[in-house]
Amino acid sequence: GQSTLALRLGRPHARRRRFAVGLGVLTSVVLAGLTFSPPATAGSGLTDGEGAALPLPPAAPGVIRITQANLLSGQPAAEFQDDAATVLSNQPDFITYNEVPYRHDIFLAPPGYALWRTPGQYTGATPVAWRTDKWTAVNQGTTTVSYKEGKLPGQKVEWGIRYANWVTLQGVDGHVISVISAHLAPETEITMGLQEVGVTNLGILANQLAAVGPVLLAGDMNFHYGPVQYPRALLAS
């Protein structure tokens, strides 16, 4: 799925045709200093055209856009490339991707974008991309979100092994901001309890990065916004 969010920066701080379905998406902002404009909800800005999305108006001065995209991992290359083009079509400042460990960087970050991830089946699944005309990376890394081995019958990858990629960037106007891309484990008999572990570890990372500026945490959290699954107290902490 895809979700685009627009945010307004304060002063500098010291298609769902083929996209994977049934997974909750969370985009959260850690720390104050950003104000929100209404987001485009998952799939709401998409058409059935090839690589097309309804165009957004140009961003106002001081507004940034971040798009979170979980792209269906098993689809053919041509269909993946079409979906990636949809994600890029409104030229967001930042993109957080999920389920793309073996997809070529050129389709995730074509000219005008740069991309960070640690290559690998698990470490490379959640890259961060950013516009190079507006942002320059000053630090980056890959952090363990959860690590538990084991597969259910018929399962091809170990769902309990999860990493987050993150980048700290400086804008042409001097703002410093960090972006984290994450994908938490779904809840199964093997991964029970790992969502809490994952949120806790992401919170530790976000609080560390918050020392230099606002933090954007985006990804597929694999839980829904509701009274049963949503870990409100843990996220608030």
pLDDT of residue 102: 94
pTM over 0.75: yes
Question: For every residue of 182-224, which 3-state class applies, written as one string?
Answer: EECCCCCCCCCCHHHHHHHHHHHHHHHHCCCCCEEEEEECCCC
Radius of gyration of the CA atoms of the chain, in A: 17
Structure tokens at 194: 């790992």
Assign 235 to helix, strand or coil. helix
> At which residue do the structure tokens 């104000």 appear?
35
Structure tokens at 235: 């996220």
Could you count the other beta carbons within 10 Å of the beta carbon of residue 19? 21
Residues in the chain: 237
Structure tokens at 236: 């608030």
Tens digit of pLDDT per residue, the chain (237 long)?
A: 777 777 766 655 443 334 333 233 344 444 434 544 444 443 433 334 454 567 788 778 888 999 999 998 889 999 999 999 999 998 999 999 999 999 999 999 999 999 999 999 999 999 999 999 999 999 999 999 999 999 999 888 999 999 999 999 999 999 999 999 999 999 999 999 999 999 999 999 999 999 999 999 999 999 988 887 888 899 888
Give which of 68, 59, 1 is closest to 29, Cα–Cα. 68
pLDDT of residue 30: 43
CA dist 7 and 21 (Å) reads 26
Assign 85 to helix, strand or coil. helix
CA dist 57 and 228 (Å) reads 37
pLDDT of residue 3: 76
For 231, residues 6+ apart whose C-beta sits below 8 A from its C-beta are 195, 196, 199, 223
Q: How many CA atoms lie within 13 A of 82 on its CB side?
A: 18
CA dist 83 and 166 (Å) reads 23
Asked whether 161 and 148 are in contact (CB, 8 A), the reply is yes
